[in-house]
Each structure stands twice: as structure tokens, then as C-alpha cells.
Amino acid sequence: MMRREFVKMAAAGAAAGVALPLGSSASAATATTSEKMFAHKRGTPFNLKYAPHFGMFRNHAGDDNVDQLKFAADEGFSAWEDNGMPGRSVEEQNRIAKAMTDLGMTMGIFVVNMGTAWGATLSSGKSDERDKFLGECRAAVDVAKRVNAKWMTVVTGTVTDRISLSYQTANVIDCLRRASDIFEPHGLVMVLEALNPRDHPRLFLTTIGQGYEICRAVNSPSCKLLDDLYHQQVTEGNLIPNIDAAWNEIGYFQIGDNPGRNEPTTGEVNFRSVFGHIRHKGYAGILGMEHGNSRGGKEGERAVIDAYRWSDDFGA
């Protein structure tokens, strides 16, 4: 079925005189179409809340953050995410929040623990390391309120040498329960990101099943999973069955094709099928576009938008 769809799209593009740029495979070449193919959909809302990030459309919109938001909204995107939001000035946070409110856009994630994400902060059981993390959680509450965010990424850090994994897991759960006590009164949700061990060796949390177990143990509405489909394709694949198995604990998705960690249609993942499955399960949250552009310049930015138009065309 997918192959027939690709062939039909290629034929339609040829009939319209539209060049189909080459990708990493025949599928990518036909799925990643030119600007003309989806010009009639420009500005039409997508079926799902895909969230670009600052810099993704710089060649079209310029360097100003608000101008980039306006460009994305004009293209039909209704959400945004910014890992580094806590590092921006209060004035810029307020400016971004106002622009998003004016544009009717929803704020996605930012990273809570930039300072402690890459050490054995949660797994070690050391009180001083735990307190550093909890301090970042308290600071994140202020940022979230300022930018109207609900979801925030937590990276659980690295493993700790010479301590059994079972005890490390208990230490992580204890830290996350304390963090939940901070977030829960404000209606905020930390989402735990499992990262693949090829790109990020020695990290504690690597699989969706492991994250599911931890969320169940923390047992708080403020502790959920971030299912980053790029990382999970690298680590374990089996994307749709894992989505189903962990569904009740998934609070947020992020996107990136593999190999390359670029936009859909440039790698091996059938995102049209995955997005359709997520939509049909009733997901109304955000899917962060945490990936690069496979090509540079305006042409590359247009290819990203068109890839989402194609992948989002799974039927209502």
C-alpha cells in the first residue's frame, strides 16, 4: 500500500511539472515533495500539534524569535518547543509567551535540568546531587508559568558505578517523587526522556518499558514519559506496539527520522502510519520536532514543512 501511494504521488508530481528532490531512498524522494505540491495547504492547520523550534525556519523568517513564530503559525503549525527556554532572559520569555498567545500557539517542552542532566545526579542517592536537581525543578516552575508551559523534559542522568541497578532505580524514583511534589500543585508535568545508548552512552534511562516502570512507581500525574521516536527507533524500534503498551504513561512525543535525525521521509520510519496511529488513539498533545533539516536554506526548510504535510495526510 505504501509503495503504491509513493508511486501515485510521484506520478502526480510529474504530471504537474513538479520536481521531486532526491532523499536517502526512493521512498524519501517521492514523499519529500516540492513547494508546489502542498502550496494549496499553506496555512491550513495540521491534524496534530507539531512543534518546531527556534532556528528551524530562520532562512524564511530571519533571526528574530517572534518572526519565526509568526512564520510557523502562517504555515499551519499550532505549537512550539524550546529546550533552552530557561536560559533566555525574563524579558524574552515574556515576549515569546505574548506572541504565542496572540498567535494561538501552545507551548511545548523546555528542559528542566540542563545543569544536572549528564551526571549521576538522580541515580547516585547522594543528597547534595538530589538537592541540585530539586532546585532546578523549583526554578522551572517560574519559567513554566511565565511562558504558559505545562510539560517539561527531565533527563534522569547517567548510571552510577558500583551500585546495583535496582538501588539506582530506587534512588531515581525517590528523586522523581520529590520533584512531583514540587510540580503537582501547579498542574505541571515533567516528562522523562529515554535516550538511545549509541548517541548517549551510560545514561540511566534508555527504553520506553523502563520509563513506564518508573512512572508507575512514582505514581503521580506530574511524572510521565516523553516518547522520542528517534531515540526509540535507534534503541528498540517496535514503535507502535511500544506506544500502545506505554500509552497511559506517555505525556509527550518528539520526532526525528533515523538514520540522520532529520525530518520525516528522510529515513526508515513510516511517520504517516505512526502519526495516524497516535491521532486515532485520541492524542491531543504536542509532538516536538526535535530534529535537524536534511538540507540547507529555504529549500531545506520548505522540504521540512512538506514532509510534515505528507506525513500528516493520514485521514481524519
Nearest CA-CA partner of 125 in 155, 167, 161: 167
* pLDDT exceeds cutoff 80 at 1: no
* pLDDT exceeds cutoff 90 at 186: yes
pLDDT band at residue 91 under the 50/70/90 scheme: very high
pLDDT for residue 129: 96
pLDDT for residue 27: 43
- Give the tens place of pLDDT for each residue, 213-225: 999 999 999 999 9
* pLDDT exceeds cutoff 70 at 57: yes
pLDDT for residue 40: 72
* pLDDT exceeds cutoff 90 at 13: no
- Give the tens place of pLDDT for each residue, 173-182: 999 999 999 9
Euclidean distance between CA atoms 249 and 240, whole angstroms? 15
State the amino acid at position 65 in one-letter form. Answer: N
Relative to beta strand 189-193, strand 151-154 is parallel
What one-character-per-residue DSSP string does the chain give? -HHHHHHHHHHHHHHTT------SSHHHHHHS--GGGGGGGTTPPPSSEEE--TTTTHHHH-S-HHHHHHHHHHTT--EE--TTGGGS-HHHHHHHHHHHHHHTPEE---BS-TTTTTTTTTTS--HHHHHHHHHHHHHHHHHHHHHTB-EEEE---B--TTS-HHHHHHHHHHHHHHHHHHHGGGT-EEEEEP--TTTSTTBS---HHHHHHHHHHH--TTEEEEEEHHHHHHHT--HHHHHHHTGGGEEEEE---TTTS-STTSSS--HHHHHHHHHHTT--SEEE--S--SS-HHHHHHHHHHHHHHHT-S--
pLDDT for residue 316: 58
pLDDT band at residue 35 under the 50/70/90 scheme: low
pLDDT for residue 185: 98
* pLDDT exceeds cutoff 90 at 4: no
Residue 20's CB is within 10 A of a number of other CB atoms, namely 19
pLDDT for residue 220: 98
With beta carbons less than 8 A apart as the criterion, state whether 150 and 188 touch: yes
CATH topology (fold) of 51-311: TIM Barrel (3.20.20)
Q: What number is the average pLDDT over the span 6-14? A: 43
* pLDDT exceeds cutoff 50 at 192: yes
Euclidean distance between CA atoms 228 and 249, whole angstroms? 14
With beta carbons less than 8 A apart as the criterion, state whether 118 and 155 touch: yes
Cell 500509552 belongs to residue: 247
Q: What residues form DSSP beta bridges with 254?
A: 228, 288
pLDDT for residue 41: 80
* pLDDT exceeds cutoff 60 at 33: no
% of the chain surpassing 70 pLDDT: 88
Cell 491521532 belongs to residue: 279
pLDDT for residue 20: 38
Phi first, then psi, for residue 313 (nearest 5°) are -90, 60
The angle formed by the CA atoms of residues 69, 111 and 260, to the nearest 5 degrees, is 75
* pLDDT exceeds cutoff 90 at 28: no
pLDDT for residue 10: 40
pLDDT for residue 43: 81
Q: Where are the domains of the chain?
A: 51-311
pLDDT band at residue 8 under the 50/70/90 scheme: very low
- Give the tens place of pLDDT for each residue, 230-251: 999 999 999 999 999 999 999 9
pLDDT for residue 31: 46
pLDDT for residue 36: 66
- Give the tens place of pLDDT for each residue, 254-303: 999 999 999 999 999 999 999 999 999 999 999 999 999 999 999 999 99
- Give the tens place of pLDDT for each residue, 94-137: 999 999 999 999 999 999 999 999 999 999 999 999 999 999 99
pTM value is 0.90
With beta carbons less than 8 A apart as the criterion, state whether 214 and 172 touch: yes
* pLDDT exceeds cutoff 70 at 22: no
Phi first, then psi, for residue 270 (nearest 5°) are -85, 85
CA 280 vs CA 107, 118, 305: distances in Å: 23, 36, 22
* pLDDT exceeds cutoff 50 at 12: no
